[in-house]
Chains A and B, each alone.
Chain A
Amino acid sequence: MTLSDAVLMTASVDDPLAFGEVFDRYVRLVRRYAARRLGEDRADDATAETFRIAFERRATFDAGRGDVRSWLLGIATNVIRNYSREEDRRMRALGHFDVDAGDVGVEVEHAFFAAPEVGAALAALEPGDRDVLVLVAWEDMTYQQVADALDIPLGTVRSRLHRARQLLRASLGAHLDEEDVHG
């Protein structure tokens, strides 16, 4: 029987070694998230920092306020804030990297060509708005999970996302119009 994340977190308070299992379950996910936002060079640093903080604060984890994944990505988001300069650079250089999409076809090709503009638009967002947008769009988190991760009210998640989308629409208008041509 595999122990649930919540059980492991609870056990890790008295038995720190139990946290090793939590690490093994989520390290790749956290690192992927960090790499998307900061690039490969800084991803390891941010991931190690995230788990160091998580280990220190494991006693404060409350299963009633979200799952372990959200909790870890919330910590990672705060850690990534410390690398804001690196993230801005990474976002602006987005066009130089391959985009990672589940589907193939016209949309992916379109996204590939739109990536530099998307990156520049993401870099121009307020950090809080960008956190919400990225967690929803890249990490496929629900609004509630984002609220849990960032420890903000659900309404704040909605308003930040709305604001981010408005700004993106203004920046990417041409590409969105182009979609109509493709569509």
Chain B
Amino acid sequence: MDELDLVRLSRPSTVESDDERIATIKARALPAMATNHQRVGQLDVGVISAADDAAVVELASSLMPRRRPRARVVAIAATIVLLVVGGVALSRRHPSDGGTSPINGAAADSSPASVSAVPTLAQLDGETFDIAALTVGTEDRTLVTTAGRPLTIRINGSVVRVDTGCNNGGGDAARIENGHLVIKEWSTTLVACGGALRAQEDAMRALLTSKPAISLRDDELTLAAASSTLLARRHSPDSPTTSLSATTIGPVQPASPPPPTTVPIDPGAPLTVPTMAQLEGHRFDRPSRRRWFRSCDRQRHHRQAA
């Protein structure tokens, strides 16, 4: 017996793994495959949920660049050609995009020129979309808003915030799964509102919390649930939100107020307690928290210097 035999004979014994332990290892190593496995032919084909399916597809697509069978290359090339053709056709078809009847137009438009794609949250990160239309059932709802306040959908990372015209609602752990926007744990401000505003908010919340299908075509974001659809357009600083009200805001919208005037703070001015009469008719915009603290610091500094 030589030293190799001695090592071979000294091989430590191990505990044979039971099925439960193996399943645990599989869940950790291959989470997308660890649920409800069935034997189909000679392959281990899992009965997987939509979430698992998405994870598998994501894992598979992450490996795509390494090895591309001919069929996949052909499919990618065909997709690129379709996108280019679609893009050209769209650019010819939407020179100004007047925005009338946007949802029904989009839904009925099944020509090859319509190239909608499911965006990723990363693509939408930092974007604000102005809500342009809301359809519930077959009814195009007239959008209602309060003075100067646009109805928007804002996306920051996985945070989706929606201004429904009455309250701000949204979720902090949004994701896009299989083409559907999933907003978890919807939260909202609790401003009391009634009538059309309330109905509008209810409709928007119902739509957004029902995992609507999400698609992006050019600057148009569409969210479609079973019985309602919402269309929003990418907000650009050049296009004021009032253009939205021209086609969609109903008669309850009050006239736009005059723009607020900004009064610079005079740090040297003495602080006095105003009377109600002095304040009457004035409007005060709340400064940002940082500006407010800065002005407080400045005033304190001047007081101390004096």
Spell out A's residues near B (CB within 8 Å).
1-3, 8, 11, 13-21, 23-24, 27-28, 31-32, 35-36, 40, 43-44, 47-52, 55-56, 58-60, 94, 97-101, 103, 107-108, 110-112, 114-115, 118-119, 122, 133-134, 136-138, 165, 168-169, 172, 175-176, 179, 183
B residues contacting the other copy or chain, number (CB 8 A) = 41
Using A114-B10, A183-B1 as known contacts, say yes or no to A1 and B28 having CB atoms under 8 A apart: no
The residues of A that contact B22 with a CB separation of less than 8 Å are 27-28, 31
Interface residues of B in 270-287 (CB under 8 A from A): none
Q: Which one of B6, B33, B42 lies within 8 Å of A114 (CB-CB)? A: B6
The residues of B that contact A118 with a CB separation of less than 8 Å are 6-7, 10
- 5 closest A-B pairs by CB: A111-B9, A20-B44, A100-B13, A51-B29, A48-B28
The residues of B that contact A2 with a CB separation of less than 8 Å are 42
Q: Contact: B59 with A24, CB < 8 Å? A: no
Among B61-69, B80-88, B89-97, B156-164, the stretch in contact with A: B61-69
**Cβ contacts A to B, 5 pairs, < 8 Å:** A51-B30, A56-B59, A59-B66, A100-B14, A168-B7
Q: Contact: A136 with B10, CB < 8 Å? A: no
B15 lies within 8 A of chain A by Cβ: yes
Task: Tell me the total A-B contact number using a CB cutoff of 8 A.
Answer: 161
Residue of B nearest to A35 (CB): B14
Residue of B nearest to A37 (CB): B12
Spell out B's residues near A (CB within 8 Å).
1-17, 21-22, 24-26, 28-30, 32-33, 37, 42-46, 56, 59-60, 63, 66-67, 69, 72
Q: Which one of A50, A56, A107 lies within 8 Å of B9 (CB-CB)? A: A107
The residues of A that contact B15 with a CB separation of less than 8 Å are 35, 40
The residues of A that contact B5 with a CB separation of less than 8 Å are 107
